[in-house]
Amino acid sequence: MHITHRTPLALAVAVALLPAVAGAQQPRDQAAAAQPDATELDTIVVSGAAQAGGLRKRDASYSITTATLEQVQEAAPKSTADLLKIVPGVWAESAGGNTGANIDVRGFPGGSDAPFITVQLDGSPLYPPPTVSFLENSSLFRIDDTVENVEVLRGGPSPIFGNGQPGATINFIQRKGGLTPEGSLRLTTGSGSQRRVDGFYGAPINEQWSYSVGGFWRSSDGIRDTQYPADEGGQFSATLTRWFDNGELTLYGRMLDDKNAFFTAVPLISRDGGRDVDAFPGFDPGSDTLLGEDFRHVDIEVGPGETIRRDLAEGRGADIDLFGAILDLDFGGWRLSHRSNYLSGDAPTNSLFTGANPQTLGSWLDHAIDDANDDPAVVAAAGGPASSASASFVTGGGAVDPEQQVLTAGWWVVDKELDSFTSETRLSFDLAPGHTLTAGAYYANYSSRDRWYLGNEMLLTVEPNARRIDVELDNGVAVTREGFAGAPFFALDARYDGENLAGFAAHEWQISEVLRFDAGFRYEEQKVDALISNAAAADYDGDPTTLYNNGASLRDGSYRSLRYDNDEVSWTAGLNWRMSDAASVFARVNSGFFFPQFDNLRDGQDNTQQVDQYEIGLKSGNALFDLYLTAFYNEFEGLPFQLFLDDGTNVTAIGDSRAHGLEFEGALRPFDNFEVALTGNWVEAEYRNFGDNTGNEVRRQPSLQYRVTPSYFVPAGWADLKLYATYTYVGRRYSDPENEQRIPSYQTVDAGVAAYVGENWEFRLSGSNLTDEIGLTEANARIVGDAVTGDVFLGRPIFGRAWEFSAAYRF
């Protein structure tokens, strides 16, 4: 981790703050019941609020979605990113599994990963850059029963606080110990031989101290059968809380060690000009995968005489430790808040990335012969051209039928070693009656050590749990090695160090009992230093007749240095008018920015992205209904686009966009115990100043998506039951900026039932995608433009029909 002279100062300030109070008192009762006439509008939210105590949802002049742990469980998310399906304005592609999601927000022109999504834990970002290649924030967090609730803020004042995220901030609030001992134990099973246990226990130590411990462990073969555990690992969490007369201090730690299979595109059939999708013969898009034992353990060539041994079961997981501190103090008119955390660990990628469309083995062999005969060096070394080829299975041997469908897919290896420290301190005080000023500072120091070997194409059969194929020409030319038809096309060794320092101020003015105004600004400086390896094309063994390692990427031992230093200012202003206890309206404008991250700078994209957003919203609710509407407009400048194609070409571009839309979130309760909830959004977003793609729709994001969830609560003598179901509609969109890879709309149906037995027991059964819909989240991400050959293409579908059952005991 790169440490500058500012880091010891920030650490010293943080440490000095922690014991800066004395005297103890009873803590506020965290289990206090809500007032009988309270509504959703009375929910206290802390994300986006200038002061640590937060404010009521009705008084917040921005859009924020909240969910309790029970609401999270009802949504049955398959990953942290999948939970975002309950948030209007956010589009999360979680079909890849527990990690590696692509997440977009409000028509922002994201390229891949999740650059405009920050995941926080109790107000601190997990890793200051929201996205670096092969790592987005949601991959560093797992939802379990140690979560109290979650808040998701879109736009609003978020460019001012934290790491200045202009898109969406997901803030998970931890459960802590209180005055009364409490705990829970949950056992879960389900599709894919899932076995999972979650636990939590919190209790007081004495009148001044409390603690909590919890976490989860699970093993699952996955909804898609990988022939080995697709998800395996767990998490342990602990908190320690100290109460004072004027506030409290919490220290926490979370240790995550989780391995997750990562799924990319599979073969599909395109119908009606891309308006419909069918399964490829012999391949179920909802439950099958190319991954399997045949190439789980491989030796990958990375240089002359050098190989690395890898296990596909390592997947795209995380092995990280996270430690943090939360301090809130009230000095009577002066309020101090501090948040800091430190993260360290690894986030590797060991996954299969598909590329070109399937073809018959005979066709593939013809191309291999032609390519070899077109290279004079190969012909000369072999003593003449080839006229035929033989193909056999790597495992078990045996000839392969020339009519067998095959494709090539890359066994990509990305190792990341991460370190980061973040610290944010705020001081709020009352200038005059109705006027509150908050001033603060944010500091982040972070690093990433990257070792990449992209490419490593294998020749595979197109079938569930594909098999490798070896090919040799009749003139002795070896086309493959243990199924590998290529070596790395991009070898990288890079050391990145970043540092951000920001100062901010916000003014809250309660103009009258019903009118509230707030404004703020932020000045931030970012510095990045990096060492990046240089590479050139090489023949690893110096033998032209071994085609599988000719023209490979090889680091030459030299490095280029990179230095970046820039500063920017963001600002925001919002007005909230409470028309009545049941309704309020707000208006908000902000101007934020997004500094280039490590990979942008490596590719020469050193521009800062500028985002201007405008919002107006309505919040209304009572015993009969809740309704939240937000209309938004945004302009985006300086989008950096980057994509590795199937042949290793690194495509980069910079452009602009603009978007407008409507977010909606609500619930209707026409009679006792029955509710219908609705959430979703409509958006129109297009590229501007983006070359030939100007005027095209921003990639991936549906223009319309929504979820309708009816639920019915049934009081019974032996148990209380809650029945619920969700209908989801996702509109059509395009996978590429060229708008040539159309992704059709789809609908899914989920359902569940929860039974609450006595004071302690809860049983929950849920099913997802009950109609086994073929829904795509992306088409072929390794091809620019049209990606259909005949009627065959590659796309990434959602998971097929699945079920889950859990039993929980609370005490």
Tokens at residue 685, please?
């977003």
Q: What is the pLDDT of residue 210?
A: 98
Structural domain contains residue 324 = yes
Structural domain contains residue 374 = no
Q: What is the pLDDT of residue 648?
A: 65
**Structural contact between residues 42 and 99, judged by C-beta atoms closer than 8 angstroms:** no
Mean pLDDT across the stretch 204-225?
A: 96
Structural domain contains residue 140 = yes
pTM of the complete model: 0.92
DSSP label at residue 758: T
Structural domain contains residue 161 = yes
pLDDT above 70 for 31: no
Least confident range from 114-123, 233-242, 454-463, 636-645: namely 636-645
Mean pLDDT across the stretch 205-227?
A: 96
3-state SS record for 635-698: EEEEEEEEEECCCCCEEEEEEEEEEEEEEEEEEECCCCCEEEEEEEEEEEEEEECCHHHCCCEC
pLDDT level of residue 26 (50, 70, 90 thresholds): very low
DSSP label at residue 732: -
Structural domain contains residue 405 = no
Which of 631-653 are b and which e, b meaning 16 or more Cβ less than 10 Å from the residue's Cβ?
ebbbbbbbbbbbbbebebeeeeb
Structural domain contains residue 196 = yes
Q: What is the pLDDT of residue 51?
A: 87
pLDDT digits (tens, 9 = 90+) for 691-740: 888 999 999 999 999 999 999 999 987 889 999 999 999 999 999 888 99
Q: What is the pLDDT of residue 351?
A: 95
**Letter for the amino acid at 660?**
H
pLDDT level of residue 332 (50, 70, 90 thresholds): confident
Q: What torsion do the CA atoms of 87, 92, 95, 97 make, to the nearest 10 degrees?
A: -80
Q: Output the domain CATH number for residue 704.
A: 2.40.170.20
Contacts of 634 (CB under 8 A, 6+ apart): 106, 107, 108, 155, 611, 612, 613, 614, 658, 659, 660
pLDDT digits (tens, 9 = 90+) for 734-753: 998 889 999 999 999 999 99
Mean pLDDT across the stretch 209-217?
A: 98
Q: What torsion do the CA atoms of 74, 78, 82, 84 make, to the nearest 10 degrees?
A: 30
- Domain boundaries, position 704: 6-30+42-356+410-810
pLDDT above 70 for 27: no
Q: Which residues pair with 435 in a beta bridge?
A: 432, 509
Contacts of 50 (CB under 8 A, 6+ apart): 157, 161, 426, 428, 436, 438, 506, 508, 518, 520
Which has the closest alpha carbon to 728: 754, 700, 702?
Answer: 702
Structure-token match 């049983």, residue found: 763
Reduced to 3 states (helix: H, G, I; strand: E, B; else coil), residue 368 is helix
Structural domain contains residue 382 = no
- Cα–Cα separations (whole angstroms), residue 772 to 261, 309, 743, 797: 21, 37, 17, 11
For 439, other C-beta atoms within 10 Å of its C-beta total: 16
Which has the closest alpha carbon to 569: 160, 217, 179, 230?
Answer: 160
In whole angstroms, what is the distance from residue 565 CA to residue 466 CA? Answer: 48
Structural domain contains residue 381 = no
| Ordered alpha helix ranges (H), 559-633 | 598-602
In whole angstroms, what is the distance from residue 66 CA to residue 29 CA? Answer: 21
Distance of CA 731 to the CA centre of its chain: 21
Count of structural domains within the chain = 1
Which has the closest alpha carbon to 321: 412, 435, 417, 248?
Answer: 417
